[in-house]
Amino acid sequence: MGPKVRDSMKILCIGRNYAEHVAELNNERPSEPVIFTKPETALLRKNNPFYFPDYSENIHHEVEIVLRVAKVGKTIAEEHALSYVEAVGLGIDFTARDLQEKAKSKGLPWALAKGFDFSAPISEFVPVTEFTDLGNINFSLEINGEVRQQSNTRMMLFPIPTIISYISRFITLKIGDLIFTGTPSGVGPVKIGDRLVGKIEDKTFLDFEIK
Ligand code: MG
């Protein structure tokens, strides 16, 4: 008998979903959602520290609202999309910007720049029923006590129902999958010794260190 085959969850991410962030990186405003993935090994939970890896000299923070998928779905209509969200949390889409710029300049994939180990710290999740409107959630990231990123989900270029519907045309959503919904402006490098605090509304969801 071979090893047990495990059915694992996946992490789906949206790039370029806030206009001011698109502008700060001099990217083109997308006409369709930009989708990429991270492997499960990217997850970093329970506010464990992030250890700065040796293959990058420029890792950027990207704070994002993260959705957890409630049920299996394929070709989901926008009007039903919100019923596929079970819980909401906060995450960081750590990006090795130097590796990403190198890949982008050659037209190569972002897999390593976005998917390296522990590139996806996530908070605890809160049931979706605790939010009155997923299209109106304030969230922020402070570094060493200073607010660096702050926005509201209403500023998304592609709102949550559109994202879910779009992804599910190509990739079947399954229970427990995570969707990173894009970062607002204010991204920048982290360094060893930084303390990152992420909030949804006034509540702290993330609080961890770079080591
Ligand atoms: Mg991102």
pLDDT along the chain (211 residues), means of 10: 81 95 89 96 98 98 98 98 98 98 96 98 98 98 98 97 98 98 97 98 98 98
Q: How far is ligand 1, taken at its centre, from the CA of residue 191, in Å? A: 18
Give residue limits of the domains in the chain. 11-209
CATH, domain 11-209, list 3.90.850.10, 3.40.50.300, 3.50.50.60, 3.40.50.10890: 3.90.850.10
Amino acid at the residue 70: A
Q: How far is ligand 1, taken at its centre, from the CA of residue 14, in Å? A: 6
Q: How far is ligand 1, taken at its centre, from the CA of residue 130, in Å? A: 24
Find the helix or strand (DSSP H, E) in which 23 lies.
helix 19-24
pLDDT of residue 1: 66
Beta strand segments in 99-173, E: 120-121, 126-127, 138-143, 146-152
Residue 59: closest CA among 67, 70, 51, 49: 51
Asked whether the whole model's pTM tops 0.85, one would answer yes
Structure tokens at 82: 């919100």
Which residue in the block uniquely carries the two structure tokens 């710290």?
Answer: 121
Q: How far is ligand 1, taken at its centre, from the CA of residue 16, in Å? A: 7
Q: How far is ligand 1, taken at its centre, from the CA of residue 100, in Å? A: 12
Task: For residues 149 and 144, give the distance between their C-alpha atoms in angstroms, rounded to a whole number.
Answer: 13
Within a 10 A sphere around the Cβ of 184, how many other Cβ atoms?
A: 25
Task: For residues 115 and 37, give the distance between their C-alpha atoms in angstroms, rounded to a whole number.
Answer: 7
pLDDT of residue 23: 87
Q: How far is ligand 1, taken at its centre, from the CA of residue 75, in Å? A: 24
